[in-house]
Amino acid sequence: MVTMTKGHSNDEGFTLLELLFVMVIIGVLAAMAVPAYTRHLRAAKEAVLKQDLHVMREAIDSYTVDKQKAPQTLDDLVTAGYLKALPMDPITNRKDSWMGDRTDSYNSVDETQTGINDVHSGAQNASLDGSLYSTW
């Protein structure tokens, strides 16, 4: 049994000032964590973009050597079986934003038809290092 002694209150809990202090601490921690999270998320997307570009460039090179002609569209890589599907551009979140670079010069002696010889992202944003994604 709890008895009340003179001068002591049985009310337990937090004061408004204590709650506000805790909320300020949580806000400061969140303000520090969110920019770090978004930077890491952007770095991860850039890593995926670099890998996708590498895979598609390898597929373009393999297609060109095997068929003795460069692909005319990026979809040619899919229909010929060099890629299962065009990957989603991690920066634009679209499959149709890839930019295929065409050339009029031949990459090998055996090549009979020019076409796409390189690929870039269609994103016009700047990366974490300051370069444009479309120049990668």
Question: Could you report the per-residue pLDDT of 37-83, keeping only the tens digit for each?
Answer: 999 999 999 999 999 999 999 999 999 989 988 899 999 999 999 99
The backbone torsions φ and ψ at residue 120, rounded to the nearest 5 degrees and listed phi first, read: -140, 160
pTM: 0.75
Q: Do residues 97 and 89 touch, judged by C-beta distance below 8 A?
A: yes
Nearest CA to 97 among 107, 108, 81, 86?
86
Predicted confidence (pLDDT) at residue 2 exceeds the cutoff of 60: no
Q: Do residues 121 and 92 touch, judged by C-beta distance below 8 A?
A: yes
- Looking at residue 8, its pLDDT comes to 59
Side chain identity at residue 77, one-letter code: L
pLDDT in tens, 105-125: 766 666 678 889 899 999 988
Predicted confidence (pLDDT) at residue 4 exceeds the cutoff of 60: no
